[in-house]
């Protein structure tokens, strides 16, 4: 019975997110980064236990640069995605719907496109889905590596930052729109 339960759990974990676990993304900053299967779980971090998010930056899809300092003072939803990832194809348009509702309330969204073979594939996906929030093109996963203390190596993963730039929630696997809205409402209420 236990063996069946463990087998079922392992199968569920593999199906929960996109993975190319055997493929490593080599980085030049002293390490190796692997993308692993996500779990359909989220962790909300209590206000008193939140740690500052690392600083990061990169080149945006379509041109330009981005620095994490641009998020200062706003709640931020950071979503690690790939056009090759089936759960991302479901989740990303839902993120756009949430973004359209909250962008005027001090909430920023930023996509982090990882492990993509071509910037053109990523841009085509963004264009076809009508995604209005920016995405960093990060094929080597360097931003995810900056978040190595959080499980950003699963695709999709979502990290939510509070207004102080602290990690307030971490989701591995696809995030339901209702869960994301509830988390954002909670963070917006913290500022009231």
**31-79: pLDDT as tens digits:** 333 344 444 557 888 889 999 999 999 999 999 999 999 999 999 999 9
- Over residues 5-16, the mean pLDDT reads 35
Which of 3-7, 17-21, 40-44, 85-89 shows the highest mean pLDDT?
85-89
| Global pTM value | 0.79
Whether the ω angle into residue 82 lies within 30 degrees of 0, i.e. cis, is no
- Over residues 89-107, the mean pLDDT reads 94
Q: What is the dihedral sign for C-alpha 110, 92, 169, 6?
A: negative
Q: Which CATH class is domain 2-190?
A: alpha beta
Task: Name the residue ranges covered by the structural domains of the chain.
Answer: 2-190
């Amino acid at each position: 019975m236990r063996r069946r339960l463990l087998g079922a759990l392992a199968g569920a974990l593999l199906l929960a997110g996109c993975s190319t676990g055997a493929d490593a993304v080599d980085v030049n900053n002293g390490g190796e980064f692997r993308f692993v299967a996500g779990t359909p779980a989220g962790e909300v971090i209590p206000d008193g236990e939140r740690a500052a998010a690392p600083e990061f930056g990169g080149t945006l899809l379509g041109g330009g640069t981005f620095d994490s300092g641009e998020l200062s003072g706003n709640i931020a939803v950071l979503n690690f995605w790939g056009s090759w990832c089936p759960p991302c194809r479901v989740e990303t348009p839902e993120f756009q719907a949430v973004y359209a509702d909250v962008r005027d309330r001090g909430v920023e969204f930023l996509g982090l496109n990882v492990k993509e073979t071509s910037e053109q594939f990523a841009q085509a996906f963004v264009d076809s889905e009508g995604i209005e929030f920016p995405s960093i093109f990060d094929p080597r996963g360097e931003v995810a590596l900056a978040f190595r203390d959080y499980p950003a190596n699963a695709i999709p993963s979502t990290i939510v930052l509070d207004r102080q730039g602290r990690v307030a929630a971490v989701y591995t696997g696809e995030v339901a729109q209702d869960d994301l809205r509830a988390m954002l409402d909670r963070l917006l209420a913290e500022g009231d």
